[in-house]
């Protein structure tokens, strides 16, 4: 596996989906993320409230 470049659907910036992250997501059976880390953490913050 190689690092992947993904465009964030929220801020439209490219971010790197690293090899180790890809392995982690695959283990968990998750789909590839559509958002960069900062947007994902923002979303989590928002959900928590």
> What tokens appear for 34 in the block?
């559509």
Q: Which is nearer to Zn ion, 17 or 36 (CB)?
A: 36
Alpha helices in the chain (DSSP H): 19-28, 37-48
Which chain residues interact with Zn ion by CB under 5 A?
8, 10-11, 36, 39
Strand-pair partners of 15: 6
Q: Which is nearer to Zn ion, 10 or 26 (CB)?
A: 10
Shortest distance in whole angstroms from residue 10 CB to Zn ion: 4
Is residue 9 within 8 Å of 35, Cβ to Cβ?
yes
Q: Which is nearer to Zn ion, 13 or 24 (CB)?
A: 13
């Amino acid at each position: 596996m190689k690092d992947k470049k993904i465009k964030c659907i929220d801020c439209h910036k490219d971010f790197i989906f690293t090899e180790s992250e890809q392995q982690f997501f695959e283990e968990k059976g998750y789909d590839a993320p559509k958002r960069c880390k900062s947007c994902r953490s923002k979303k989590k913050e928002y959900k928590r409230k």
